[in-house]
Amino acid sequence: MAFKDFPKKPNGVQLLQRSLARGRLGHAYLFSGDNLEELESVARNLAKTLNCQNPTKQNGAAIDCCDECLNCRQIENGNAADVHWARPESKTRIISVDQMREVMREVQLKPTAAEFKIVVIVSADRLNPQAANAFLKTLEEPPEKTILILISTEPSRLIETILSRCLRLNFSGDGKRELNSEEAAWLEKFGALASNEQKSLLGRYRLLDVLLQKLSELRTQIDERLATNSPLEKYDDVEKDLREKWEDELAAAVEAEYRRRRADLLLLFELWLRDVWLHTLAAGKELLNFPTMAAAETVAKKISSKQALENLQTLEQTQKLLHTNVQEALALEVGLLKLHF
C-alpha cells in the first residue's frame, strides 16, 4: 500500500506529503489516532517513501512510494535492515529501557542499504519512565538521515518531555463514527438488551455475558491472525532461545492488539451512551453518533440526564481501571452494575 491507496486520505497524510514536497520533514514525530494498525501503516508508508527507489515526486522531492521496488517490499515485509520497530514486550506490555538502549545503538549506525534510517516506537505510551528518560537525548538530536516515529492511541499518557520533542500529527477520523456490519450488529444487540428492563441482576449479567463473549471472539481472531504472520509459523527448526523470543514477542503483540481492540469496543459503547445522554437533553439528531439506533432513545426515556452523564463517567473510570492490573471480568462487572438503564 502507498499513500495514494488510502481510501480516505487523512489530513495528517496530506500534511506529511506537503512537508516532503517542501523538504521540511521533521526528525521526530508523534502519530496519534484511534486505530493502531492505521498509524503503523502511515509510519510504514513514510519509511517506504523516504527509501523508495522509484518514488512519486513533486517539486523534485519524493511524496509517495512506488510500493514495488526492493526497498518498498522489504519495508512492507518487515525485513528492511534500516527500519527498526520497538513494541511493548512481555505480559506487562512495557517498552523497557533495554529495548530503548538497543534502539539507540541502532540509531547511531549509518544506514546500510537505504538513504534514511527509520525507527518506529509502537504504543509509545507504554514506555516506562526509565526508557522514556533514556530516549530523550536521542529524540531531541538524532543522527543525520534518521527519522523517529512514535505512534500512540493514548498520547495523553506520554510524559511532557517526550511530547515537547515531537511534531504531532493526529490521524483520528473526522465526523461521526462509521460502523462496519459486525460492529453495527453487535451494538444493535447490546443496545436492545440495555433498553429492556434491567433492574434485576440477571438482566445486568446478560449484558455482561454479551460483552465478554464479544471480547472472547476478538481475542481468538487476533490470536489466529497474528500467529499466522509470526515467524513461528514459517520456521520450525530454530534454536530454543530464538523460539522463546518469538513466542514472547507473539504473546506481547496479541495482548497489545487485544487491549487496543477492547478499548475500541468500549469506546463504541461509550459513544452509544453519549447518544443516550443527548436524548435526555432533547438534543438534535445531528449531534448523535448513531441516529438510526432507537434503543438509545428508549433508555433515555427511563433515566435522567444526570444519570446518563454518570453512565459516561462510569465507563470512563472502567476504561482507566483496565489500564491497570485489575482482573478484566471483575472491572467490567462492577462497571455494568453501576450503569443506569
Instruction: Give SS3 for 1.
Output: coil
**93 backbone φψ class: left, alpha, beta (φ>0; ψ -120 to 50):** left
Contact 224, 216 (CB under 8 A): no
Amino acid at 102: E
- The whole-number pLDDT of residue 73 equals 92
CA-closest candidate to residue 131, choices 152, 106, 158, 91: 158
pLDDT mean for each 10 residues of the chain (341 residues): 79 86 89 86 94 91 92 89 85 82 87 89 90 89 91 86 88 66 88 78 86 93 85 77 81 82 88 90 78 88 91 88 86 91 85
Q: Cα(146)–Cα(112) distance, rounded to whole angstroms?
A: 12
> Are residues 206 and 318 located together in one domain of the fold?
yes
DSSP letter string over 96-150? -HHHHHHHHHHHTSPPSSSS-EEEEEETGGGB-HHHHHHHHHHHHSPPTTEEEEE
pTM of the full predicted structure? 0.62
For residue 124, tell me if it sits in a domain: yes
Question: 162 and 33 share a domain?
Answer: yes
305: domain CATH number is 1.20.272
Residue 39 lies in a domain: yes
Q: How far apart are CA 62 and CA 273, in angstroms?
A: 45
Predicted pLDDT of residue 290: 87
- 13 and 144 share a domain? yes
| 67 and 185 share one domain | no
Is 191 within the bounds of a domain? yes
Greatest CA separation for the chain: 68
- Flag whether 281 is in a domain: yes
Q: Are residues 51 and 197 in the same domain?
A: no
Residues near 281 by beta carbon (within 8 Å), at least 6 away in sequence: 305
28: left (phi over 0), alpha (psi -120 to 50) or beta: beta
In this structure, the strands spanning 61-64 and 56-58 are antiparallel
Q: Collect all residues with Cβ–Cβ distance below 8 Å to 249 and sequence separation of at least 6.
A: 87, 89, 230
Residues 80 and 112 in one domain: yes
Overall domain count for the chain: 2
Task: Answer with the one of 170, 189, 224 that is the final residue of a domain.
Answer: 170
Asked if residue 219 is part of any domain, the answer here is yes
Q: Identify the domain containing residue 27 by its residue range.
A: 3-170
Cell numbers standing for residue 191: 443496545
pLDDT at 92: 66
In terms of domains, do 96 and 192 share one? no
Let me know whether 186 and 52 are in one domain: no
- pLDDT of amino acid 330: 93
> Which pLDDT does position 90 carry in this prediction?
63
Ramachandran sector of residue 326 (left: φ over 0; alpha: ψ -120 to 50; beta: rest): beta
Q: Is residue 141 part of a domain?
A: yes
Task: For residues 145 and 220, state if they share a domain.
Answer: no
Which residue type does 185 have? A
- Phi first, then psi: give them for residue 116, nearest 5 degrees: -115, 145
